[in-house]
Chain A
Amino acid sequence: MALEVLLVEDSKTQAQQIKETLESVGLRVRIAYDGPDGLRDAISNPPALIVLDVKLPSMDGFQVCRRLKRNPATQDIPVVMLTEKAGPKATMSGLRSGADDYIPKDIFASEHLIDTLHELGILED
């Protein structure tokens, strides 16, 4: 059965684009549109991977990631941050919150995301 990814992304347009990218490589995708919903979803039904936006309503992606990594039910799930915040400070905040990768949303984002899924063992080489 295909592995399931939890995508936490508040923009419906971007969520659909990322979902299509992930589905194109055979993954199943469910979406949460804010941080608290993403946390609840991850804890109640742990996915194989979490793709997490940074700018989210209620709770930002850094906070969500820190909580995921503190919770024994979710701490081992790989987290990839996919975000418009591309600077050095944001990159280090994302990685220090426990993310396995931090990918800016630019024209190469889909390629980088899929490369990382191979690297993390979510996709087979």
Chain B
Amino acid sequence: MFRQISDYLDGDLDAELKRAIEAHACGCHHCEVVVDTTRMTIKLYCDGTWYDLPIQVHQRLHAVLKSRCRDRMA
């Protein structure tokens, strides 16, 4: 079951295997928790809101790009 979780979360399983996993997991609290918390793990990392781009990093990037790219485009 655990080996299939990743494919299950990606919707990459055929219908028969998907049904078999769901049938198993309906009576298995451990599997339910693993699926739900793996999905939460992905969601947490996918959600970029906890990453900030430091303003100084942004400013230095744009300064470098302006000096090395803008003049070549003009």
The answer to whether A binds B is: no
